[in-house]
Amino acid sequence: MAGKRIGVLGGTFDPIHIGHLRGALEVAEQLAFDELRLIPSARPPHRDTPRVSAQQRLDMVARAVQGVAPLRVDDRELKRERPSYSIETLESLRAELDAEDRLFLILGWDAFCGLPGWHRWEELLEHCHILVLQRPDADSEAPEALRDLLAARSVGDPQALNGASGQIAFVWQTPLAVSATQIRKALGEGRSVRFLVPDAVLAYIQANDLYRAPC
Ligand code: ATP
């Protein structure tokens, strides 16, 4: 029997917004995922400390994906004491899966360009395929360090990704120029973020008085 197809979207989700959710859903449909795990980073190694706690960011993701198959929240990075390295997350997922299951790591273009700075980044493709989401604000070229990798590993059609791991494909999605930075700023200035985040996330932000102080 063919294995499961599982997408993985890590992020700070500070807070989760419709850019993440539409991107996740569209890629899940295009690639026929059995599940797509959204994995909040507890201690993101490459950026400033998030504005709200890991538990609150996890709670918001859980509310955002409730009842939205095949999206699921995955709390494994909150259970580790160490920085949230993607390679360790993939290793821990792989340890739970069957050999024929396929893992697809979904990265926005900006995240993909930063890959050469990641802990043990060259091992990532041993565990998964990489899907790069094209984002509206992405107009830069891939960094030098990624050119050889792209030449060797990228395939033109994401449907043509073969085997359990090892290849890279680009996925186009409906552009939504939304960022968590913009949402935090609006909230800090007392403006509405209605329709930029799901209503359940907005209710959580209001109930817990999050992002009120100006950034
Ligand atoms: P911030 O503004 O705080 O940097 P962000 O909105 O970029 O946050 P992250 O949690 O850092 O959100 O993003 C997680 C992943 O989702 C990254 O791979 C990022 O590229 C991607 N992503 C974020 N916003 C969008 C969007 N509007 N469309 C597509 N992908 C997105």
The CA 124 to ligand 1 mean position distance, Å, reads 20
User: In this predicted model, which residue has the larger pLDDT, 49 or 87?
Assistant: 87
- How many angstroms separate the CA atoms of 32 and 159, rounded? 9
The CA 1 to ligand 1 mean position distance, Å, reads 35
pLDDT digits (tens, 9 = 90+) for 142-187: 888 899 899 999 998 888 888 889 999 999 888 788 999 999 999 9
The CA 3 to ligand 1 mean position distance, Å, reads 29
Helix (H, G, I), strand (E, B), or coil: what is residue 186? helix
pLDDT digits (tens, 9 = 90+) for 108-133: 888 899 999 999 999 999 999 999 98
Ligand 1 atom nearest the C-alpha of 106 is 18
Ligand 1 atom nearest the C-alpha of 175 is 28
Q: Which pLDDT belongs to residue 57?
A: 97
- How many angstroms separate the CA atoms of 11 and 136, rounded? 18
Give the count of beta carbons closer than 10 Å to the beta carbon of residue 176: 16
Mean pLDDT over 176-204 rounds to: 96
Ligand 1: list residues with CB < 6 Å.
Answer: 11-14, 19-20, 23, 107-108, 110-111, 133, 135, 176, 178-181
Residues 5-175: name the CATH superfamily: HUPs (3.40.50.620)
- How many angstroms separate the CA atoms of 103 and 93, rounded? 9
Mutate to test the pocket of ligand 1, among 8, 9, 12, 104 (most ligand atoms within 8 A of CB): 12
Nearest CA to ligand 1 atom 27: 19
Mean pLDDT over 3-21 rounds to: 95
Give the side-chain half-sphere CA count within 13 A for 2: 9
pLDDT digits (tens, 9 = 90+) for 39-83: 999 887 777 788 899 999 999 999 999 999 999 999 999 998 888
The CA 99 to ligand 1 mean position distance, Å, reads 30
